[in-house]
Amino acid sequence: MESLIKSLDSLYCDSLTGYSRRKTIPVRVGDVLIGGDNPIVVQSMTTVDTMDTMGSVEQSIRMIESGCELVRITAPSIKEAENLRHIKAELRKRGYKTPLVADIHFTPNAAELAARIVEKVRINPGNYADKKKFEVIDYTDASYADELDRIRERFLPLVKICKENGTAMRIGTNHGSLSDRIMSRYGDTPLGMVESALEFLRICEDENYFDIVISMKSSNTQVMVQAYRLLVQKLNEGGFKPYPLHLGVTEAGEAEDGRIKSAVGIGTLLEDGLGDTVRVSLTEDPEFEAPVAKALIDRYSERKSHEPIPEITHYPITPFEYNKRQVAEIYNFGGHNVPRVITDISKIERITDREMKVVGHFYLPELDKWKMNDQGCDFVYSGSNPIPFMLPNGMKEIQDFAVWNLAPDQVNKFPLFKLEEYKGAKRFHSELNFLEISALEIDAAIPAIAGKKDTVLILKTANTHSMPALRRAFVSLLEAKSDVPVVVKVSYPDQSADMTMLYAATDVGGLLIDGLGDGILISLEKEAEHTRAEVLEQIKLHNTVSFGVLQAARTRMSKTEYISCPSCGRTLFDLQETTAMIRKRTDHLKGVKIGIMGCIVNGPGEMADADYGYVGSGKGKITLYKGKEVMKKSVPSEKAVDELINIIKEDGMWNEPETI
Ligand code: SF4
């Protein structure tokens, strides 16, 4: 991968420090323009059967009313493609001009028809001209070229129809559904994803057809981010036009997990100015998707006016593959430890043992015992409100230096210094000290911590271009060859829980994706006028969001991961209900990945690296997988969850849930 990294001039974005949206060509989709100087477009996809005309229309309207500017509808065969005509006519009759996008997998004939009806067609280059057989084929250059000729022949009619009808196209690569040809040559990699799109893009450009948007989706946020970055670099180097990018994380899941995972992937790219249209895919009704996409996008409307960040002249980070920054092991930070969660409880005076449940540690008075769940934080920051009881479960307390300095117990508590305090301090903890600095203080902090093997940095910034400002400080540490572990601290003012999830996932997740950060601390910025219960609720949110961000960036697994598709007109069961049912039985299986897919056509491919899969294969019938291997076919749906659990048990990955 090293050979893919070129000078900063040809990096994947305009600037690593100043917010600048990548210049793309505008692509017209009906009345909507994607790319160029146009605002980032919000889109989403229907979930009702495309043959249900009125159902599709009603759902589209709900989506439009919630902020969706482009409505995608699946067209699995000719008959659904034909029905797009009726859906479109009804929407127009009711005064809705929102452009429609036909979603195509495997069926060129449906694409060719749909391209004459709707404003945009999405094709998946992994399955437009190929059926997936999971075969590894040894291609010679000549046989590979023959394959490309075959694709050209299959794809060319669609390109011509789009060109004639002014229909736009998305070449939408999915990590989980790369063709056997691409997998054989490039493997399951970001480069394979990019090449998959470029094969089709070359055919379009040869025909002088440029109304194209490209996506590189994956449910793995690291792969997704790397693939988009690599795509931009390959477009630049290959002399292609700067096509707009459609951003999305596939199978992100539901609720908090789905939002956090989407924000880690999409937000990381938006920070670097990539992305012209966004679809957040949640296993929820589609009208819940647009507000999340909009909340992510809206952060950038004023971003240009951020405080300047010192430029980067040499970039020591590989943006196309995951490399954890090498750091020393200090206490239980850094080294080979998972990133740590520090939860800020400093705004609560004299917290009680029973209130500690908000940070995942439960006191059971009848047994006089403590228990913790999978999201029990590692450290609490109590500031100047020391905890008045002994802490359980190996959890440790961090106090402000002034408090720690006078505390009777200086062994089991750890001090947090400001830079000036640290420089002038006569007393340190023998094993672990925290130095909190802003990104702007990094150059002053580096000499102060040089050679210290008892200090962890807590890094924060007040810059509104937060992630790049923090990343810039990491670049200084890398340049200085400092191996100090770093906890990333973010603070937010009063805002909704959703905003906090999305912002923290972007600001911290964007660093974790590049291997930066050994811990997370989400700080409470509020004072007064909040009840104790409200503050405790915030602390609970920050604690769970911290674990969620670490998991979504794939750096610390603390819960079961559900890779569930958002559902569409192909879906064979109620995804939301089924996901909830599976979650209820399996959400104690820490680190296990379960794919829940609505159809057998795309599901097995798209559940990517799930350990187990639950895939709709017919009305009331489920096929169960272990990895990519089919374990049981056509299981009646009422027995399928039990059978799934049996497969997990037989595989030795089951444990019984604990009750707290
Ligand atoms: S996997 Fe889910 S979203 Fe994808 S095509 Fe099948 S049902 Fe639709």
Q: What is the pLDDT of residues 262-297, one digit of tens each?
A: 999 999 999 999 999 999 999 889 999 999 999 999
**pLDDT score at 364:** 84
**pLDDT score at 526:** 64
pLDDT bracket for residue 4 (50, 70, 90) = very low
pLDDT, tens digit (0-9, with 9 covering 90-100), for 423-477:
999 999 999 999 999 999 999 999 999 999 999 999 999 999 999 999 999 999 9
Which ligand 1 atom lies nearest to the CA of residue 251?
3
**pLDDT score at 659:** 58
Residue ranges lining ligand 1, Cβ < 6 Å? 565-568, 570-571, 597-599, 601-603, 606
**pLDDT score at 580:** 86
Residue 654 has pLDDT above 70, yes or no: yes
**pLDDT score at 3:** 40
**pLDDT score at 6:** 46
Q: How far apart, in whole angstroms, are the C-alpha atoms of residue 138 and residue 136?
A: 7
**pLDDT score at 2:** 41
Most informative mutation of 44, 567, 596, 625 for ligand 1 (most atoms within 8 A of CB): 567
Average pLDDT over residues 563-574: 85
- With a CB cutoff of 8 Å and minimum separation 6, the contacts of 625 are 595, 604, 607, 610, 612, 613, 614, 615, 631
Is 162 annotated to bind a ligand? Reply is: no
Asked whether 174 and 196 are in contact (CB, 8 A), the reply is no
Residue 133 has pLDDT above 70, yes or no: no
Q: Which residue from 28, 29, 94, 32 is spatially nearest to 59, judged by alpha carbons?
A: 94
Q: Which residue from 101, 102, 47, 176 is spatially nearest to 571, judged by alpha carbons?
A: 47
Most informative mutation of 124, 565, 619, 623 for ligand 1 (most atoms within 8 A of CB): 565
**pLDDT score at 190:** 96
| Pairing verdict, β 455-460 and 486-492 | parallel
DSSP letters, 423-440, are: HH-S---SS-EEEEEEGG
- In our burial notation (b when 16+ CB lie closer than 10 A, e otherwise), range 34-50 reads bbeeeebbbbbbbbbbb
pLDDT bracket for residue 136 (50, 70, 90) = low
Token pair in block for residue 524 = 């409470």
Name the residue with the closest Cα to ligand 1, atom 6: 599
pLDDT bracket for residue 1 (50, 70, 90) = very low
**pLDDT score at 458:** 98
Residue 538 has pLDDT above 70, yes or no: yes
Most informative mutation of 106, 279, 597, 615 for ligand 1 (most atoms within 8 A of CB): 597
If you measure from the C-alpha of residue 596 to the centroid of ligand 1, how many angstroms do you get, rounded to a whole number?
10
Which ligand 1 atom lies nearest to the CA of residue 103?
5
